[in-house]
Structure 1
Amino acid sequence: MCTRVIWPDADGAVLVGRNMDYHRDLGTNLWTQPRGITRDDGVEGTLTWTSSYGSVVVTAFDIVTVDGINEAGLSGHLLWLAESDYGTLDPSRPALSQAIWLQYFLDTCATVAEAVDWMTRTRVQVATMVDPGSGETPELHLALDDATGDSAIIEYIDGRLCIHHDRSYRVMTNSPPFDQQLQLLTRYQPWGGPGLLPGTTEAADRFARASYYVDRLPRPGSQVEAIAAMFSVIRNAAQPFRIPDPGKPDASQTIWQTVADLTRGRFVYESTTRPNVVWVDLDKVNLAAGAPQLKLDLIGKLALEGGIAGNVSTQFTDCGPLNFLTIPIMRELLAAAEQTKKP
């Protein structure tokens, strides 16, 4: 499920694109998250913070941040990794629920290096969640990138925090873990191996294709050309519509795509089930402390006849705050669901 690609030298700008591949609709909307919001970890409430940076985020079911960019130019992306093992929670160390994991960094960090330093010092943990609607337990890893072109991939393997931090790490997909993905590239001719560039939708093949094509993008003449070029790469790694393979969410169709200009603060969203592309300019939305949290109802607006298209920075509305799914609330919902099953 999913592909993320960074283009750090797009004629003076840093761009990042990602595909969201999943086997069902995620009820996706866009939200503004201003500075000055107080939150907690979603686990036991022992870690609290106030957002230092405003952000525009993509949500799943309006309870999880899965993608986004903050006003400092830090961007983040949650992708599926079947090998994820977060280990047993240690109460002496901070923990973040999967629902708010990405949002923490968008709220508090301006750069990848700042985020990596905090993770290294605190040895932060991630608490798994169960989707109350489907019963699925997400298995996720996190990519962070910033306006300097820096990159980090954060994985939890065998209960251990693994941070892969280097500007050369431009691509991330799914299984196997990131260090093994790098080794697999050596099988192909562009990286010294005998094999031709692979063409399937398997995660390792998408990793190779995206790595190849992002290194060969022509110098863009404008921001529009740069965004179009990035879309061309992530579309090459997209997955076509298909009947889902049982037990393999990483083999699901691409349901939406984003491209973010981290240098100039533009966030572009495209649904694969609607023909219209929309974008938000961060300097055109109110991210000041005290501003309301606003929502762009993609579910409703894209379904309208003609839909919406173009710059939608002024089309967000106040629907109340974004309420993240917490571990205690998740447990209550699951318990209630079990009660309804009893005769």
Structure 2
Amino acid sequence: MCTRLVWNGPAGAVLVGRNMDYHRDTGTNLWSLPRGIKRDDGVGGELAWSAKYGSVVAGAYDMMTVDGMNEAGLAGHILWLSESSYGTHDKNKPALSMAVWLQYFLDNFSTVGEAVTWIDESGVQVVPLGDPATGEVPAVHLALDDVSGDSAVIEYIDGKANVWHSRDYIVMTNSPTYDKQIEMLQQVQGFGGDKPLPGTTVASDRFARAAYYVGRLPEPKSQIEAIAGVLSVIRNTAQPFRIPDPDKPNASQTIWQTVSDLTNKRYIFESTTRPNIVWVDLKQLNFQEGSSAGKLDLMGDTALEGGLAGNVTASFQQTAPMTFLALPT
């Protein structure tokens, strides 16, 4: 469930596309979050901070950051990984709830390198929380990318953070773990193997298609063409709507997709259930400390005519900052 890819374009622009694949709606709205907001780890408050950078994020149930980018050009993306195992929460070590995990990086770092260094030095843990809609405990991994084209994939296996950090790690999907995904890709034509490019929706096949097509995008003549190119690849890895299958009751479909233009600081959102694409220009937002947070109500945008479309930067409604899901105190 879910695909993420980075395109280091021939003209130097860096764009990132991702699909959100899930078996139910995630109640996603967009949030504009300024500098200076005070947050804590959601697992006891031992780790607390004030946001150094403003960000635009896509939330799940308005309680968890699952995708987004900050004003410095660092972006992050939460995807499913069934093999994830976070270990027992050691209260003597720094930890972050799953809900605020990505937001911590967007708040505090401008580059992937800074974030990876902090992970290595802090030994930070991730504490899973139940889905507020069902109680299901998600199993997820995290991708980070920045305006330089750097990239990292962070997976927790047996309680330890495995960090894959390189400009070469431009694609991420789901199971199996990242080391095995790379091995499987090497069996495909164009990546050292003799297997034809696969076409199913399983994670390893989507991984191969994303890697193949993002490496063959033509040089764009404009920012619009660059965004369209990334959308063309991410749509190729999308999962279609399907009727319920008794053998796969939680089979996913693509419910929305984003493109983060890290070079031009533009965040593009497309729902698969609404006809219009919307985007936010981060350079036009007021991220100054003390300014209000903003919410863009995508869940209320159901009209076929006159709904949200195009540049929606000015459409955020002032509100209190998003409240993150936390362990009971």
Query: Do the two structures share a fold, i.e. TM-score over 0.5?
Result: yes
> How far does residue 12 in structure 1 lie from its aligned partner after superposition?
2.1
Give the SS at the match of 2:162.
Answer: strand
Over 3 Å counting, the alpha-carbon distance change for 1:92 and 1:265 in structure 2 is: same
1:136 alignment counterpart: 136
Over 3 Å counting, the alpha-carbon distance change for 1:53 and 1:249 in structure 2 is: farther
Q: State how far apart, in whole Å, the 2-side matches of 1:103 and 1:246 are.
A: 36
Over 3 Å counting, the alpha-carbon distance change for 1:97 and 1:208 in structure 2 is: same
C-alpha distance after superposition, 1:152-209 (max 9, x if no partner): 0000012211000010001000000111000001211111212100000000000000
C-alpha distance after superposition, 1:11-35 (max 9, x if no partner): 2210000000000011110000100
Give the SS at the match of 1:299.
Answer: coil
Moved more, 205-214 or 124-133: 124-133
Q: State how far apart, in whole Å, the 2-side matches of 1:19 and 1:246 are.
A: 24
Q: Confirm or deny: 8 A CA contact 1:3 1:173 kept in the other structure.
A: yes
2:309 alignment counterpart: 309
Q: List alignment gaps of at least 5 residues for structure 2.
A: none
Give the SS at the match of 1:43.
Answer: coil
Over 3 Å counting, the alpha-carbon distance change for 1:246 and 1:137 in structure 2 is: farther
Q: Confirm or deny: 8 A CA contact 1:3 1:19 kept in the other structure.
A: yes
User: Match of 2:317, as an amino acid?
Assistant: T
1:299 alignment counterpart: 299
Q: State how far apart, in whole Å, the 1-side matches of 2:90 and 2:27 are.
A: 33
1:283 alignment counterpart: 283
Identity of aligned residues (%): 63
C-alpha distance after superposition, 1:278-312 (max 9, x if no partner): 00000111111001110000111344643111000
2:121 alignment counterpart: 121
The equivalences for 1:9-28 within 5 A come to 9-28=9-28
Over 3 Å counting, the alpha-carbon distance change for 1:84 and 1:107 in structure 2 is: same
Give the SS at the match of 2:184.
Answer: helix
Q: Confirm or deny: 8 A CA contact 1:74 1:111 kept in the other structure.
A: yes
Q: State how far apart, in whole Å, the 1-side matches of 2:123 and 2:171 are.
A: 24
Q: Confirm or deny: 8 A CA contact 2:292 2:319 kept in the other structure.
A: no
C-alpha distance after superposition, 1:135-158 (max 9, x if no partner): 210000000000000000000012
Query: Could you say which structure has the higher helix fraction?
Result: 1
Over 3 Å counting, the alpha-carbon distance change for 1:34 and 1:164 in structure 2 is: same
CA RMSD of aligned residues (A): 1.4
Give the SS at the match of 2:234.
Answer: helix
1:189 alignment counterpart: 189
User: Match of 1:147, as an amino acid?
Assistant: V
Give the SS at the match of 1:189.
Answer: coil
Query: Could you say which structure has the higher strand fraction?
Result: 2
Q: State how far apart, in whole Å, the 2-side matches of 1:75 and 1:249 are.
A: 32
Give the SS at the match of 2:229.
Answer: helix
> How far does residue 246 in structure 1 lie from its aligned partner after superposition?
6.4
Q: State how far apart, in whole Å, the 1-side matches of 2:210 and 2:146 are.
A: 19
Q: Confirm or deny: 8 A CA contact 2:197 2:209 kept in the other structure.
A: yes
> How far does residue 321 in structure 1 lie from its aligned partner after superposition?
2.1
C-alpha distance after superposition, 1:235-274 (max 9, x if no partner): 0000000135569688400000000110110000000001
2:102 alignment counterpart: 102
Give the SS at the match of 1:327.
Answer: coil
User: Match of 1:146, as an amino acid?
Assistant: D
Q: State how far apart, in whole Å, the 2-side matches of 1:99 and 1:321 are.
A: 14
- The yes-or-no answer on 1:256 pairing with 2:252 is no
C-alpha distance after superposition, 1:36-72 (max 9, x if no partner): 0110000010000010000000001100000000000
Q: Confirm or deny: 8 A CA contact 1:21 1:250 kept in the other structure.
A: no
Moved more, 4-13 or 65-74: 4-13
1:242 alignment counterpart: 242
C-alpha distance after superposition, 1:204-241 (max 9, x if no partner): 00000000000000000000000000000000000000
Give the SS at the match of 2:182.
Answer: helix
Q: Confirm or deny: 8 A CA contact 1:197 1:208 kept in the other structure.
A: yes
User: Match of 1:116, as an amino acid?
Assistant: V
Q: State how far apart, in whole Å, the 2-side matches of 1:303 and 1:59 are.
A: 21
C-alpha distance after superposition, 1:70-100 (max 9, x if no partner): 0000000000000000001122210000000
Over 3 Å counting, the alpha-carbon distance change for 1:248 and 1:88 in structure 2 is: farther
Q: Confirm or deny: 8 A CA contact 1:76 1:106 kept in the other structure.
A: yes
- The yes-or-no answer on 1:270 pairing with 2:270 is yes
Q: State how far apart, in whole Å, the 2-side matches of 1:245 and 1:291 are.
A: 48
1:332 alignment counterpart: none
Give the SS at the match of 1:226.
Answer: helix
The equivalences for 1:1-343 within 5 A come to 1-244=1-244, 251-303=251-303, 305-328=305-328
Over 3 Å counting, the alpha-carbon distance change for 1:278 and 1:158 in structure 2 is: same
Q: State how far apart, in whole Å, the 1-side matches of 2:113 and 2:214 are.
A: 23
Give the SS at the match of 1:179.
Answer: helix
